[in-house]
Amino acid sequence: MIRTDRVFGLVVILVALTYIVSAYNLPPGNLFDKLGPKAFPTIIGIGMIVCAGFLVLRPDEEPEWPPRPTLLALGFATLVLVAYAYALKPMGFLVPTAIAAGVLSYQITPHRRAAVLVGIGLSIGLFVIFKYALGLSLFAFPRSLTG
């Protein structure tokens, strides 16, 4: 039977093997550095394989994964956050923050008006706090517009 723990265990084993191989391919360290740059990562990698092996052999019962529509919603939220991360610098703080906060708000509680208000309110409110109270260097709009 396919179980999450088994799949995850196998993934971890693959990652750990890659990790050990890339550790092995590192150049040797300094002459005085007796342990060198490879030993510790190799130990960690082997430990990961052992622990992941337990997961493969003795998996716990299946976690309750959400139904497909919820998973899609989560995927969408992730995309929105990633887009927000990329937009923050070129587009300034206000617009991306309003959109991202609005979308998240709508995803948690689907009220359109409330989500719009949350988006706008948060982006302006947080901008004021961070820029003027905490003195972080943020730009409201794209720097090309404001100079």
Partner 1 sequence: MKFTTLKALGTSAAISLMAASSVWAAECIAPANPGGGWDFTCRQIGKILYDIGQVDAPVQVTNMAGAGGGLAYSTVVAERNTDPELIVAASSATTTRLAQKAYGDATADQVRFVGAIGADPGVIVVAADSPFQSLSDMVEAIKADPSSVAFAGGSAAGGFDHMKPLQVLKAAGFDDITSVKYIGVDGGADAITQTVGGFTQAMTGDMSEIVGFIKSGEVRALAVLTEERVPGFEDIPTAKEQGFDVVAVNWRGLYVPGGISDEDFQKWADRLQAVADSAEWKQAMADNGLAPFTKVGGDFQSWIDGVVAQTEELSREIGVIQ
Partner 2 sequence: MDIFANLALGFSVALSPWTLTLAVIGCFLGTIIGALPGLGPSNGVAILIPITFTLGLDATAALVLLTSVYYGAMYGGRISSILLNIPGDEPAMMTTLDGYPMAKQGRAGEALVISGVASFVGALLATIALALVAPYLARIAYKFGPAEYFALYVLAFATLGGMASRNQAKAGLAALIGLAIATIGLDNNAGFDRFTGGNLHLSDGVDFLVAIVGLFAVAEVFFFIETHGRDSAVGVKLERVVVPWAEMWSTRWTMLRSSAVGFIAGVLPGAGASLGSFLTYMMEKGIAGEKGGFGTGVAKGVAAPEAGNNAAAGGALVPMLTLGVPGSGTTAVLLAVLMTLNITPGPTLFADRPEVVWGLIASLLIANFVLLLMNVPLVRVFVKVLMVPPALLLPGVTMISFVGIYSLSGSYFDLVLMILFGVMGYAFRKMDIPTVPVILGILLGYQMENNLRHAMTLSGGEWTYLFSSPIAIGLWLFAVAGFVAPIFLRGMLRRPQVAEADKVID
Question: Interaction with partner 1 in 87-126: which residues (CB under 8 A)?
Answer: 125
139 counts as binding partner 2 under rule CB under 8 A = no
Query: What's the CA gap between 23 and 40, in Å, rounded?
Result: 9
Compute the least distance from the CB of residue 114 to partner 1, in Å. Answer: 13
Query: What's the CA gap between 15 and 6, in Å, rounded?
Result: 14
Burial (CB count within 10 angstroms: exposed 0-12, middle 13-18, buried 19+), residue 69: exposed
Residue owning tokens 């993934």: 11
Compute the least distance from the CB of residue 147 to partner 2, in Å. Answer: 19
CB 37 within 8 A of CB 96: no
- When computed from its CA atoms, the radius of gyration of the chain, rounded to whole angstroms, is 23
31, 64, 68, 113: residue in contact with partner 1 (rule CB under 8 A): 31
Comparing C-alpha atoms, which of 45, 65, 61 is closest to residue 53? 45
What lies within 8 Å, CB to CB, of 3 at 6+ separation is 59, 62
40 counts as binding partner 2 under rule CB under 8 A = yes
128, 141, 142, 145: residue in contact with partner 1 (rule CB under 8 A): 128
Lay out the site mask for partner 2 across 48-87 (x = CB under 8 A, - = otherwise): x--xx-xx--x-x--xxxx---x--xx--xx--xx-xxx-
132 contact choice in partner 1, partner 2, none (CB below 5 to 8 Å, kind-dependent): partner 1
89, 128, 132, 141: residue in contact with partner 2 (rule CB under 8 A): 89
Give the interface with partner 1 as residue ranges (CB under 8 A).
Answer: 29-33, 125, 128-129, 132-135, 137
